[in-house]
Amino acid sequence: MLTTNRYGVGDGLLGLLEPLEVKGLTLRNRIVMPPMQSGRASFAGEVTNRLINFYVSRSIAVGLPIVEHSYIMPTGKIGPKQLGIYSDTLIEGFERLTSAIHNVGAPAVLQITHAGGVANRKVIGTQPAGPSERGKTRGLTVAELLQIADEFALAAERAIKAGFDGIELHGAHGYLLNQFFTPLLNKRNDEYGGSLENRMRFPLLVVQRVKARLGGKLLLYRLGSDDLAPNGTSVEDSVTFAKRLEDSGVDILDISGGMCGSEPKQLKHIKGYFLPQASEIKKAANVPVIGVGGIREAVYADKLVRDGVVDLVAVGRALLKDSKWAEKAVERLGTKAVDV
């Protein structure tokens, strides 16, 4: 349900500072802090005070902070100081993180992930596995897929126990869920590979299992919407996938890149570089859509929401560089509205 426009500036459309209610949770504005690995977890993936400070200082005026990608099981780890949610023993540290974020008036969402074929062999101590055998990667068996889907669900349950208001499944940037969706990496010839329907099957299974453990909390999906490569994922396939995600209970769609990653070189100078894909998906979806990519200016972010291009705007590197980016944006846009 959308609330009325406090800063109403005449066009009747809502702006970046407008609250948004999603499934009973009120976001105070449309500014999203996208997940960004901070390198501040311990080697065992635990929350540290440095990590808490990183999020608290940036969440002060953010509507929806999404905490960085956290591995759901040891074989899905990519970096040495990656945050992890693979064991119940980690819940206590996350409780400190969620209450610190809540104390500055923001909800907290945790992104959970498995790196699949791009897991770090040195870090995991075994051969990485993805949808299909490829180079030094082996293909996962169906039994392993079912086990990984259960590990996603257990990780989600831990996150909710730790006080998160929702979780985001990392289905972008070439990680496991994205590896299944993209025809560039998924060469399986069983029911989990080949056709679009089959390539969606594993991510949708994970959505279904996770959803069952969320107890009504928010479920977000970060969708690798475009590989920017011949024969890769196209936005048409992503529109179909987005609708299926929505039908399966995803509450917010977060639209980023696929195998091209989150900051593709060929797009890096374009303001709002994944907005074309996000806007196509928004036209087809009935749930809120997050747009991301090279957004640094509050006025531009505000216009994206007012023009109905997306519902929420994620600002990553600008917020990384200036922890007060959101505070300044709220001040700037609030003043602007008063001036009108």
Q: Find the shortest distance in angstroms from Cβ 319 to ligand FMN.
A: 8
Give the binding site for ligand FMN (CB under 6 A). 34-37, 68-69, 111, 170, 172-173, 222, 256, 262-263, 292-295, 315-317
d(CA 1, CA 23): 9
Q: Which is nearer to ligand FMN, 24 or 80 (CB)?
A: 80
Q: Find the shortest distance in angstroms from Cβ 63 to ligand FMN.
A: 15
Q: Which is nearer to ligand FMN, 256 or 277 (CB)?
A: 256
Q: Tell me if 199 sits within 8 A of 205, measured CB to CB.
A: no
Alpha-carbon dihedral sign for residues 64, 65, 69, 72: negative
Helices (H), 111-188: 121-124, 142-161, 176-181
Q: Which is nearer to ligand FMN, 20 or 32 (CB)?
A: 32
Q: Find the shortest distance in angstroms from Cβ 138 to ligand FMN.
A: 25
Sequence-distant (6+) residues with CB within 8 A of 308 are: 13, 282
- For 110, list phi and psi in degrees, rounded to 5: -110, 130
Q: Please state, in angstroms and as integers, the Cα–Cα distance from residue 260 to each residue in 60, 119, 188, 196, 229, following that order.
A: 31, 17, 21, 19, 8
145 alpha-carbon distance from chain centroid: 21
Q: Find the shortest distance in angstroms from Cβ 339 to ligand FMN.
A: 27
d(CA 47, CA 54): 11
Number of H helices, E strands in the chain: 11, 13
Q: Which is nearer to ligand FMN, 109 or 295 (CB)?
A: 295
The residue with its CB nearest to ligand FMN is: 316
Q: Which is nearer to ligand FMN, 31 or 295 (CB)?
A: 295
Catalytic residue among 71, 175, 192, 221: 175
Answer yes or no: 175 catalytic: yes
Catalytically active residues are 175
